[in-house]
Amino acid sequence: MKKVFLIAYFIAALGGGVSQAMAGSHDERSVGAAVYARSCIACHAIDGVGAMPGIPDLTDKKGALSKSDGVLLKGIINGINSGSSPIPMPAKGGDENLTEAEARLVLDYIRRKFGN
């Protein structure tokens, strides 16, 4: 039952990420925030602690965000399957239109927002 729920959530998150266009602001911070709201929040939650089991807590000071920008950017763009989570993270958070520039802005955003 739990597994079915996770898969349904996964598919919903993928669909949501792909369908939304960005709300054209030129302010870089708000672009990062908009990308997070559009493509990441379904799994990582508004406060970054994760919306379901298996999602890493981005507010953990010794956790994922202690890695370098290069490593994290690569993970965001190519997806992550560390084996320590029951589900992988989809490439670009499932948003096929996510650009590298947006990936950088959303990484800046989560670092600022979640205090790392």
- In whole angstroms, how close is the CB of 26 to ligand HEC at the nearest point? 20
- Residues numbered 47 to 106 that lie near ligand HEC (CB under 6 A) are 54-56, 64, 67, 71-72, 75-76, 80-82, 84-85, 87-90, 93-94, 98, 106
Question: 90-93 contacts: CB < 8 A, separation 24 or more?
Answer: 90/10, 90/13, 90/14, 90/17, 92/17, 92/39, 93/13, 93/17, 93/39, 93/40, 93/43
Which CB sits closer to ligand HEC, 31 or 76?
Answer: 76
Instruction: State the Cα–Cα distance between residues 91 and 102, nearest whole angstrom.
Output: 13
- Residues numbered 17 to 46 that lie near ligand HEC (CB under 6 A) are 17, 39-40, 42-44
CB 76 within 8 A of CB 93: yes
- In whole angstroms, how close is the CB of 52 to ligand HEC at the nearest point? 8
CB 96 within 8 A of CB 18: yes
Query: Which residues bind to ligand HEC, rule: CB under 6 A?
Result: 10, 13, 17, 39-40, 42-44, 54-56, 64, 67, 71-72, 75-76, 80-82, 84-85, 87-90, 93-94, 98, 106, 110
